[in-house]
Structure 1
Amino acid sequence: MHLGCERFFQPGYAANLTSAWLPALEGVVDKLESGASVADIGCGHGASTVLMAQAFPRSTFRGSDDHAASVDTARERATAAGVGDRARFEVASAQDFPGRGYDLVTMFDCLHDMGDPLGAARRVREAIAEDGTWMVVEPAAGDHVEDNLNPVGRAYYGFSTLLCTPASLSQPVGAALGTQAGPARVRELVAQAGFSRFRVAATTPFNAVYEIRP
């Protein structure tokens, strides 16, 4: 399952993350080029973390995931890519990842899988700098069922039924946002956590990129 998720999403990250998604965020690339502090939450095997570390050598990246075997793989991938000096990884949940004052916090295709996404959002609010940015990349979704009755939406509903929703339900709180939560639900969630700004910064047929700020 861990390998399959990476194989599904990593090509989209390689094609879009540094070329389109990060540039769509206000002022973020300038900070990364100068030297920013970044937390990549739910980093899995570190595909997103390594891509960012390769593109922005002056910045430091701290990836975290609650799956220890994935963190081990992420460390190996970072070393192999030559970015082990600036991309570090540790085992931690999204509700208690370490550090504060981050210029950028990222979550890639994982917020909807969390049992307690509101708890995670509140932790990000504590950890992010007052002028920082939280980038949430989620599966492309509309706010209504009929918005998602297309080939991609149908695939995501299948994934959600088999993996994403049961994963969330198996954890404390069990919010079960599902892959098709849509921007309105995510906006509501982050507002509850104390964020005041939210916008859809970029989209692809498979993903939506949300820019969230204090």
Structure 2
Amino acid sequence: MAVDQEKLQQFMGRMVGEFGAVASAALIVLGDKLGIYRAMAGQGAMTSADLAKSTGLTERYLREWLAAQAAAGFVEYNPAKLTYELPAEQALCFADDTSPVFIPGFFQVCESMFRDLPVIEDAFRSGKGVGWHEHSHALFHGTERFFRPGYAANLVNAWIPALDGVDEKLKAGASVADVGCGHGASTVLMAQAYPKSTFVGFDYHEPSIRFARAAAEKAGVADRIKFEVAAAKDYPGHDYQLVTFFDCLHDMGDPIGAAAHVHQSLKPDGTWMIVEPFANDLTEDNLNPVGRIFYAASTLICTPASLSQDGQMGLGAQAGEARLKDVVSKGGFSHFRRATETPFNLVLEARP
């Protein structure tokens, strides 16, 4: 094969940026876990010695970490004063877990991706699946921390109001099942917003259910939330006015079976809200920065999860609206529409 040297050099220049991004990911996880970003937020310019004093960490390590952060453009460096500062914009991203742009959770997910590579490598060879429960704990915590800011920003303010009549029902008092609830972030947010409604969160992963119960207690909504261990095809209840699936339908081995179970669990006038990663229907239309993230996660997490379950449909995180509509329709639903969207999410509405 003939090699175009100019194209090669351009590609290698791009790869230098990739090297830095991958290496910086570990430092972001470290800065989050050690509380370094939080210690810098709102403090103005600091020397490495100042930061060591406020965090109790070793100055020499902090000095090197700070230089790496400055090289990445995450903090600002003043060479005359040898100080580093975390700007307000970056503080929202790195230090405030209530911010809609908080990002360390994603890098925790990446930590899990690397930790779990041996089992994924084996799955590539054997064709077997890898269940959610088989991953590193970093995945469970990182997923909740990554998705929660987006849910907090959009769920009550935009997504639920985009559904036909659902906001009014929840305000008046309705019965809701949140299926695949994980650590319960979505369930807790809804319970906080709609005090007259009752909620049940279901997930097959028992450690996540234990975490969700504690989260509900901490949030002061345990009186109107129950969390139970159950799968999407067999959770109990038959009179829900709303069933929600947040970023989980594509992970299921038999999403059609799950859809059929949702159908029989809803009241005749009930609604199924399905939140999925944003995707177009054609692969070529997903070859962009967002699709890059979701295809990577799908390769290492979502598709292996589906292939570990009965059905093994393997929808993947970039299934797209047309394939999701087919799943929902085969589950017995006659009404399906895109209620709204964000750059990262499709919010879909299904009714019997």
Do the structures match in fold with TM over 0.5? yes
**Structure 1 range deviating more: 193-202 or 5-14:** 5-14
Q: Distance in 2 between matches of 1:35 and 1:78?
A: 19
232, 235, 249: which is aligned to 1:111? 249
Counterpart check, 1:184 vs 2:322: yes
| Distance in 1, Cα, partners of 2:326 & 2:305 | 22
The separation in 2 between residues aligned to 1:168 and 1:9, in whole angstroms, is 20
| Matched residue count | 214
Secondary structure (helix, strand or coil) at the match of 1:156 reads helix
- Structure 2 CA distance for aligned equivalents of residues 136 and 22 of structure 1: 11
Task: Choose between structure 1 and 2: higher strand proportion.
Answer: 1
1:104 shift after superposition? 0.3
Identify unmatched segments of 5+ residues in structure 2: 1-138
CA–CA separation in structure 2 for the residues paired with 1:189 and 1:167: 17
Residue 173 of structure 1: how far off its partner (Å)? 1.2
Q: 1:131-150, CA deviations, whole angstroms, 9 ceiling, x for partnerless residues? A: 00000000000000011111
Structure 2 residue 234 is the aligned partner of structure 1 residue 124: no
The answer for the alignment partner of 1:77 in structure 2 is: 215
What TM-score comes out, normalization by structure 1 length?
Answer: 0.99
Match of 1:149 in 2: 287
Residue 175 of structure 1 corresponds to which residue in structure 2? 313
Aligned equivalents of 2:230, 2:155: Cα separation in 1: 24
Match of 2:145 among 1, 4, 7: 7
Amino acid at match of 2:213: R
1:151-201 per-position Cα deviation (integer Å, ceiling 9, x unaligned): 001110010001100111011111110000000001011111110000000
Counterpart selection for 2:158 from 20, 33, 39: 20
Divergent runs of 4+, >6 A: none
CA distance in 2, matches of 1:40, 1:10: 14
Q: CA deviation at 1:121?
A: 0.5
Instruction: Provide, for residues 84-116 of structure 1, a one-character-per-residue CA deviation record: whole Å limited to 9, x for no partner.
Output: 010110000000000011100000000001111
1:25-40 matches, within 5 Å, as 25-40=163-178
Aligned equivalents of 1:35 and 1:70: distance in 2? 27
Pairwise CA distance, 1:9: 1.1
Using the aligned pairs only, state the percent identity: 64
Query: Which residue does the alignment assign to 1:92?
Result: 230
Name the structure, 1 or 2, with higher relative contact order (CA <8 Å, separation 6+).
1
Structure 1 unaligned residues grouped into runs of 5+: none
CA RMSD of aligned residues (A): 0.6
Tell me the alpha carbon deviations over residues 17-59 of structure 1, each in whole angstroms, 9 at most, x when there is no partner. 0000000000000000000000000000000000000000000
Specify which structure has the higher proportion of helix.
2
CA distance in 2, matches of 1:4, 1:175: 25
